[in-house]
Amino acid sequence: MYFCNMEKFIVSARKYRPDTFNSVVGQKSISTTLKNAIINNHLAHAYLFCGPRGVGKTTSARIFAKTINCTNLDEKYEACNKCESCEGFNENRSYNIHELDAASNNSVEDIRNLIEQVRVPPQIGTHSVYIIDEVHMLSSQAFNAFLKTLEEPPEHAIFILATTEKHKILPTILSRCQIFDFNRITVEDAVDHLAYVAGCENIEVEREALNIIAQKADGAMRDALSLFDQIVSFSGEKVTYKDAIDNLNVLDYGYYFRIVKALLENDISQSLLIFNEILDHGFDGHHFITGLSSHFRDIIVCKNPETIQLLEVGDAIKEKYNEQAKECSVSFLFKALSISNTCDLSYKASTNKRLQVELALMKISQITVEPVAVAPTVSATPVPPQKQVKNEEKQTVQAEKQEKSASSLPVRPKTTSISLSEIKETEKEKTSTNTTQTQEIPQNSNLSESVTQEQVEAAWIKFAEYLNKMPRLYSAFKAQKPILSENFVLQLSVPNEPLCNKIIEIKTKILKFMRAELKNSKIDLNPVVATASDTDKPKIYTAADKYKFLSSKNKNVEVLKQNFGLDY
Ligand SMILES: [Zn+2]
């Protein structure tokens, strides 16, 4: 039975070749226009059929030729397939049709032979149709020889030129032809046609399987039919989704849904395991990463009701895409797509291809944790440049805020390990105005001790005291307050340039002292001259200062103090 099926199906691309305009798949408007030309007897002498391979150009040309010559058109103006002319066409022995494949016959000689034939009027029927396939392949001399015939064709001659590469056709030819642009067959149309063929052959099929076939065929109906044959010859009278993905070396959608779920959960291990599973199934990394890019693209498409029609999958899987789309932010998708696409482009050149893909997965899995500047496990990694810039921008604001709030607020314990809930909290704080709270202190027990703001301040005072032989410098230093920021950088906002220069001058000394005092070799110092707004603001150090500041912001503070007899 296995063998019998193979015999039966190996030819379905030919067996189910459309023989009427109505049965041409996916080219409705072209079929209608050609039919109308026949009905109204408005035939041109030359047509140019353009479009990708396998979309029905030659088939439409043959149907056109047959229909023009049919002596007994049916009520829908389709060829009858019964008259002498139609039978001649259907049995490939009609003299009314001449086909030249310009890909292999592109010399002047070949064209001259064709031109010779054009002179002879047809014995049966009214028109002779000359189909020149891959017409862009004709040599320029052959083109020129042909041009003359195209300018003054005999009454009975109709030329149909077909090409996959319209841009290679000379303008002199284009201007003499009626041009038809054939579309790629949509997945939906291809699936419908495959379902029709399956029905005719009593094959039971899962629609998802046909979807896989249609996608793999990439818009070419001919390819879709031969892939269908291939699977039927393997799996017999029942074709399942699994048969299709196994046979066509298509990676199951399921893998992509699972891996994206893991990536969204920042689960590096799980994503690497799934990738390993895929490799174990015999798929190569490149296949996977291009598929992953397409998967992200498909989710992006799902994000907008206007573009959802670009998603060419069956309904069951469309639902899954919709679900996953709800879980992905657009910015995650764009970043993920960009990473997977970069991996795709650099894959071939890479010497460690597996690592290349794994690296991409790791990067994608970190997208949604990226807003946290310092993660506990990666404290030794340098901060990316854009973050440093951000920090610098923030720094003056931080200094200001610190003055306003530092001593009034209970100092938040500097955490050394960050839990997921805290990460979210930190993210929230970042967007709010309170930037001082975002300074999470990283810890790397092997290399350096963790440091708190209090320790920094204490060490700084100690250093200032160390300068007490130079009273002016001593008091100037004591008045400053370095603020601990990411990667153990002490941000120091100083009131004037001379002092700033002095600090830079003795920076090595300061660092040596601070590093020893804080037992942390990563401590660095970043002194900047404070902007005018910083220095103009009254400094808030004492409780009285705080009270003054708060009551200036909110008059009710004063009322509160009086009504309750409070003191600071
Ligand atoms: Zn007929």
> Would you kindly state where each structural domain of the chain is located, as residue ranges?
2-10+186-247, 27-181, 253-369, 385-414+444-536
Fold of 27-181: Rossmann fold (3.40.50)
State the pLDDT at residue 563. Answer: 64
Q: May I ask the CATH class of domain 2-10+186-247?
A: mainly alpha
**Å from CA of 68 to ligand 1 middle:** 9
State the pLDDT at residue 446. Answer: 43
Residues 6+ positions from 364 with CB-CB distance below 8 Å: 263, 271, 335, 336, 339, 340
**Å from CA of 77 to ligand 1 middle:** 10
Q: May I ask the CATH class of domain 253-369?
A: mainly alpha
**Å from CA of 69 to ligand 1 middle:** 7
**Å from CA of 74 to ligand 1 middle:** 8
27-181 and 253-369 share one fold: no
**Å from CA of 186 to ligand 1 middle:** 31
State the pLDDT at residue 459. Answer: 86
Q: How far is CA 257 from CA 248, 293, 540, 565, in A?
A: 20, 12, 55, 64
**Å from CA of 151 to ligand 1 middle:** 30
State the pLDDT at residue 436. Answer: 40
The count of other CB atoms within 10 Å of the CB of residue 123 is 8
**Å from CA of 102 to ligand 1 middle:** 29
Q: How far is CA 255 from CA 179, 281, 320, 323, 327, in A?
A: 44, 11, 12, 15, 17
**Å from CA of 73 to ligand 1 middle:** 6
**Å from CA of 10 to ligand 1 middle:** 28
Q: How far is CA 407 from CA 267, 412, 436, 540, 542, in A?
A: 40, 11, 12, 9, 9
**Å from CA of 224 to ligand 1 middle:** 29
**Å from CA of 261 to ligand 1 middle:** 59
Average pLDDT of adjacent 10-residue blocks, the chain of 568 residues: 44 77 90 93 93 91 93 90 90 88 87 88 88 90 87 92 91 91 90 91 91 88 89 88 87 90 94 93 90 93 85 80 92 94 92 93 87 48 47 46 42 41 44 41 52 86 77 77 84 82 83 85 84 52 70 71 68
State the pLDDT at residue 315. Answer: 75
**Å from CA of 121 to ligand 1 middle:** 19
**What does pTM read for this prediction?**
0.55
If you search the block for the tokens 């603020």, which residue do you land on?
483
Q: How far is CA 191 from CA 15, 20, 202, 206, 370, in A?
A: 17, 19, 16, 11, 42
State the pLDDT at residue 426. Answer: 43
The count of other CB atoms within 10 Å of the CB of residue 567 is 7
- Give the integer Cα–Cα distance in Å for 82 and 6: 30
Q: May I ask the CATH class of domain 385-414+444-536?
A: alpha beta
**Å from CA of 21 to ligand 1 middle:** 13
**Å from CA of 201 to ligand 1 middle:** 26
**Å from CA of 78 to ligand 1 middle:** 8
Instruction: Report H helices in 48-186.
Output: 57-69, 84-90, 108-119, 140-151, 171-174
**Å from CA of 57 to ligand 1 middle:** 21
**Å from CA of 20 to ligand 1 middle:** 11
State the pLDDT at residue 540. Answer: 59
**Å from CA of 72 to ligand 1 middle:** 5
Angle at 415 between CA 409 and CA 417, to 5 degrees: 160
The count of other CB atoms within 10 Å of the CB of residue 328 is 20
8 Å CB contact between 455 and 362: no
**Å from CA of 529 to ligand 1 middle:** 94
**Å from CA of 195 to ligand 1 middle:** 28
Using alpha carbons, select from 181, 179, 178, 172 the residue that is nearest to residue 146: 172
Per-position DSSP letters for 124-159, written without gaps between them? SSS-EEEEEETGGGS-HHHHHHHHHHHHS--TTEEE
**Å from CA of 87 to ligand 1 middle:** 7
Residue 145 in tokens: 């020889």
**Å from CA of 79 to ligand 1 middle:** 5
**Å from CA of 212 to ligand 1 middle:** 37
State the pLDDT at residue 421. Answer: 45
**Å from CA of 134 to ligand 1 middle:** 28
**Å from CA of 220 to ligand 1 middle:** 28
Using alpha carbons, select from 386, 374, 532 the residue that is nearest to residue 451: 374
**Å from CA of 80 to ligand 1 middle:** 4
- Give the integer Cα–Cα distance in Å for 82 and 156: 23
State the pLDDT at residue 362. Answer: 95
The count of other CB atoms within 10 Å of the CB of residue 298 is 21
- The radius of gyration of the chain from alpha carbons, rounded to an integer in Å, stands at 38
State the pLDDT at residue 345. Answer: 93
Question: Which backbone phi and psi does 238 adopt, to 5 degrees?
Answer: -135, 120
